[in-house]
Amino acid sequence: MSPITLHANPFAYRFALAHTALVIIDMQRDFIEPGGFGETLGNNVSLLEAIVPACQAVLAAWRAAGGLVLHTRESHRPDLSDCPPAKRLRGNPQLRIGDAGPMGRILVAGEPGNQIIPALAPVAGEIVVDKPGKGMFYATGLHETLQARGITHLVFMGVTTEVCVQTSMREANDRGYDSLLLEDCTESYFPHFKAAALEMLRAQGAIVGWTAPSAALLSALA
C-alpha cells in the first residue's frame, strides 16, 4: 500500500494507513452532554457537540479504508483508587469525580455519562482505552499496544483541544509518533484556547505535530 500525503500545516503530512491509527479522544457524554464532568467544572458544553458530524464523516471514511481506530475515555475505577486526591479535590465544582450526577457517577467507568456518545460508538475490533489522566499514555500501556501493531503515526480528533488532545499529542511526540490533529474535529470550551493550541502544536516546524482540516484527509483517502 503506497503512502498517503495530504495538505497540512505547517507542511504536508505523509503516512501509511497500515501504520497509522485514528485516535478519538474522550468523545464521552461526560464532556459533551449537560450533567457530566465538563458542566460540573462550570463549562458551557454546547460548543463541543458541533464537531460530531465532522468526526462521524472521518470515522466512516477511516473504517471504510480499513484503518485502525482507537477510542479513549477519561475514566476512573469505581473505588477511585486511580484518581489522585489532587485531581478530585481541586477547585470548587458542583460535583466532584465519583459523585452521583444525572448521568451516574462523574467520570467513573461503566456509568452512563462515561460512555462514548452513540454517534461515535466503538465497533468490534477497535481499541478502547480507559485513561485516568489527561494524556492517553499515562498508566495505560498504550505505547506497547501501538508498538506491537507497528503504529508510527496518529491522526487525532476529540475533546478538549488544549487539555486531553494536546496532552496526548505531546506524550505521543515524546514517544516518537508523527501526529496530525484534524482542526474541525476537535473543540474546546474556550474557542481562543483551541486556536492557540492549534498554533502552538504546529509552530516551529511542527514541533509537536501537524494540523489540517478534515476535508484534506477525506480527499486523500478517497
- Report how far residue 162's alpha carbon sits from residue 61's, in angstroms, rounded to the nearest whole number: 26
Binds ligand TIU (CB under 6 A): choice among 160, 179, 186, 211: 160
By the rule CB under 6 A, 51 interacts with ligand TIU: no
Please tell me whether residue 115 adopts helix, strand or coil conformation: coil
Task: Examine the residue annotation and report whether 131 is marked as an active-site residue of this protein.
Answer: yes
What are φ and ψ of residue 194, in 5° steps? -60, -50
By the rule CB under 6 A, 187 interacts with ligand TIU: no
| Residue 74 C-beta: closest distance to ligand TIU, Å | 5
Which residue is closest to ligand TIU by CB? 164
Task: Examine the residue annotation and report whether 134 is marked as an active-site residue of this protein.
Answer: no
Q: Which of residues 43 and 145 has its CB atom nearest to ligand TIU in the complex?
A: 43
Q: Among the candidate windows 10-18, 155-163, 196-204, 208-216, which touches ligand TIU by CB under 6 A?
A: 155-163
Contact 143, 136 (CB under 8 A): no
| Residue 43 C-beta: closest distance to ligand TIU, Å | 7
21-40 mask for ligand TIU (x: CB under 6 A)?
-----x----x---------
Binds ligand TIU (CB under 6 A): choice among 33, 39, 74, 171: 74
Binds ligand TIU (CB under 6 A): choice among 41, 52, 57, 196: 41
- Report how far residue 149's alpha carbon sits from residue 19's, in angstroms, rounded to the nearest whole number: 8
92-131 mask for ligand TIU (x: CB under 6 A)?
----------------------------------------
Find all residues with CB under 8 Å of 159, minimum gap 6, and list them.
25, 26, 27, 31, 32, 48, 51, 165, 186, 187, 188
Strands (E), the chain: 4-6, 13-15, 20-25, 68-74, 100-101, 104-105, 127-131, 153-159, 178-187, 210-212
Contact 185, 54 (CB under 8 A): yes
Find all residues with CB under 8 Å of 214, minimum gap 6, and list them.
54, 57, 58, 182, 183, 184, 185
Binds ligand TIU (CB under 6 A): choice among 59, 61, 163, 217: 163
Among the listed residues 55, 83, 131, 185, the single catalytic one is 131
- The contact set with ligand TIU (CB under 6 A) reads 26, 31, 41, 74, 134, 159-160, 163-164, 189
